[in-house]
Amino acid sequence: MEKIVIIGEEPLQGTIEISGSKNASLPLMAASILTDETIVLKNIPNLADIHTMASVLESLGVNCNKSDLINKNIIQLNYHGSDKALAEYDLVRKMRASILVLGPLLARKRKATVSMPGGCAIGARPVNIHVDALAKLGGEFNLEKGYIKCEAKSGLKGAKIELPMISVGATENIIMAASLAKGETEISNIATEPEIIDLIDCLKSMGAQIEVQSDRRVLIQGVESLNGTTHSVIPDRIEAGTYIIAGVITKGELQIKNVNFDHIANLLSVFENLELNITRENNNLIVKESSVSKNISLDTKEYPGFPTDLQAQIMVLLSLSKNASTIRENIFENRFMHVPELNRMGADININGSQATINPCNGFSGAQVMATDLRASVSLVLASLIAKGETTINRVYHLDRGYENLENKLAGCGANIKRIQ
Ligand code: EPZ
């Protein structure tokens, strides 16, 4: 089992380039099922989750050419059709986002069998909203032995759909399916994350007729077929937020490149309230060590609110403040697993239901810690960078799911970080 060992308190000095967005790449890859032509995706991050999605797609008849992934971050996908429409448990259990093949398969094959993704560390994460919305387009569903079996014998038909709660994945699944349904689909209460807008931009470049309205509504005129395209993935706003926090809590100065400022406007306003030393220079961010004296009460929310995917990371930052802050986690029911590990490193964070109180602490000390999920594991890396002494982080496969070249990016700026078997 690989581990990461970090000796803390090294100043970070240098440039970090933000990679393409994992959460935009995954639905974009699933969209390859919607056409017989080739989809070329650029700025794809070389991450474990990308390889997992490629394996799921290969098992469904998509040819995934990854020969340019490592050195050029390009992947080419071509669905050559196959009567296989079964996404196996063994693949789906590794990554919940595999559920994103459901809508495209139903639209193209008029049938699909996808393993229930199952919960994961951060919560039960059901898929009822995906299923109910696709049923409104004509999908007939039943659950058998842990698999979602669905078919639409006479194809999908446009419908008026009101999503009962805002769901990123369900929004993506239903928009992809509706792109090839007969007639018009109107979906309300959609999620509006930049990753969804990136998917819509790509689908429109494939010939889909999609119009995003204000107030979380989208209108889709189904088309007969979609073409191939070449699309460049947006930068990863969660990775960007993570490295901004790294730059603020460590000594030194970081230049962060490839940032989409529109996508992190909400983050920058929270960081401004904390009076952190972050300035914009052309298209880059300059981030310097900041003394954190302010406190805030933060709610994680759907975009454009503060993202749940940065909740663990900002806890490390708020632990350094002279005043207590609170964070309420409103998206997932169990997303505080990083707290016991951070407290073992010296933090003083109390949990009361969905609310965390982050009290001032006397800094962090190195320890043996355990990663539990992707974003929790990177919060342990952040704490390790400023901890006194050595930290060993176990189960780093969580990190590899969402952070491309993490050690190299940090070591390249002077961090004392290495991966060991
Ligand atoms: C996406 O997950 C992201 N993953 C998550 O990022 C992110 O945390 C999440 O959106 C929220 O922003 C990808 O994009 C691949 P949801 P998703 O459907 O689509 C409940 C990371 O670290 N729900 O918006 O699964 C659900 O349980 C990952 O990169 C239902 O109840 O999130 C959750 O409480 C973690 N029924 C809430 O909605 C459903 O059918 C939001 O989930 C679907 C969701």
Q: What percent of the chain has pLDDT over 70?
A: 99
The span from the CA of 278 to the CA of 287, in Å, is 5
**Judging by DSSP bridges, how do beta strands 252-257 and 12-17 pair with one another?**
parallel
In this structure, the number of other CB atoms found within 10 A of the CB of residue 322 comes to 10
pLDDT over 70 at 154, yes or no: yes
Q: Is the CB–ligand 1 distance for residue 309 below 6 Å?
A: yes
What is the dotted CATH code of the domain comprising 22-232? Answer: 3.65.10.10
From CA 237, how far away is CA 166, in angstroms rounded?
19
pLDDT tens digit sequence for 282-309: 889 999 999 999 999 999 999 999 999 9
Nearest CA to ligand 1 atom 1: 168
Predicted pLDDT at 122: 76
Residue 26 CA: which ligand 1 atom is closest?
Answer: 15
Residue 190 has pLDDT above 90, yes or no: yes
User: What amino acid positions are annotated as catalytic residues?
Assistant: 120
Q: Give CA–CA dist 287/249, Å, rounded.
A: 10
Ligand 1 midpoint to CA 96 (Å): 9
Residue 15: predicted pLDDT: 98
Q: Give the closest residue (by CA) to ligand 1 atom 9.
A: 168
Q: What is the pLDDT of residue 126?
A: 87
pLDDT in tens, 213-248: 999 999 999 999 999 999 999 999 999 999 999 999
Dist. CA 259–CA 284, nearest whole Å: 7
List residues bridging with 7 in a β-sheet.
390, 416
* 247 ligand 1 Cβ < 6 A: no
Q: Taking 80 as the threshold, does the pLDDT of residue 350 lie above it? A: yes
Average pLDDT taken over every residue of the chain? 95
If one residue of 26, 130, 131, 168 were mutated to test the ligand 1 pocket, choosing by the most ligand atoms within 8 A of its CB, it would be 168
Checking if the pLDDT of 365 tops 80, the result is: yes
Within this chain, domains 3-19+235-420 and 22-232 share the same CATH topology: yes
Q: Residue 123: pLDDT above 80?
A: no
d(CA 38, CA 225) in angstroms, rounded, equals: 13
Distance 125 CA to ligand 1 centre (A): 7
Flag whether pLDDT at 336 surpasses 70: yes
pLDDT of residue 119: 63
Is the distance from the beta carbon of residue 169 to the nearest atom of ligand 1 less than 6 Å?
Answer: yes
Quick check: 362 pLDDT over 70?
yes
123 lines ligand 1 (CB under 6 A): yes
DSSP string, 17-42: E--B-HHHHHHHHHGGGG-SS-EEEE
Phi, psi angle pair for 109, to nearest 5°: -100, -10
User: What is the average pLDDT across 376-383?
Assistant: 96
Which residues fall within 8 angstroms of residue 214, CB to CB, at 6 or more apart?
A: none
Mean pLDDT of 78-87: 88
pLDDT band at 22 (very low <50, low <70, confident <90, very high): very high
Please tell me the predicted confidence (pLDDT) of residue 82: 81
Torsion sign over Cα 258, 263, 268, 271: negative
pLDDT value of position 21: 98
Checking if the pLDDT of 135 tops 80, the result is yes
Domain spans in the chain, listed from the N-terminal domain onward: 3-19+235-420, 22-232
Measured by CA distance, the residue closest to atom 38 of ligand 1 is 167
68 pLDDT band, cuts 50/70/90, is: very high
pLDDT band at 268 (very low <50, low <70, confident <90, very high): very high
* 81 compared with 378, residue with greater pLDDT: 378
CATH number of 3-19+235-420: 3.65.10.10
- The residue ranking higher by pLDDT, 230 or 373, is 230
Region 344-355: mean pLDDT is 97
pTM: 0.97
Q: Note the pLDDT of residue 250.
A: 97
Please determine, for residue 35, whether its predicted confidence score (pLDDT) is greater than 70.
yes
pLDDT above 70 (res 120): no
- 326 pLDDT higher than 70: yes
Closest by Cα among 54, 65, 58, 49 to 29: 54
Which token pair is 295?
Answer: 């406190």
CA end-to-end span of the chain, whole Å? 6
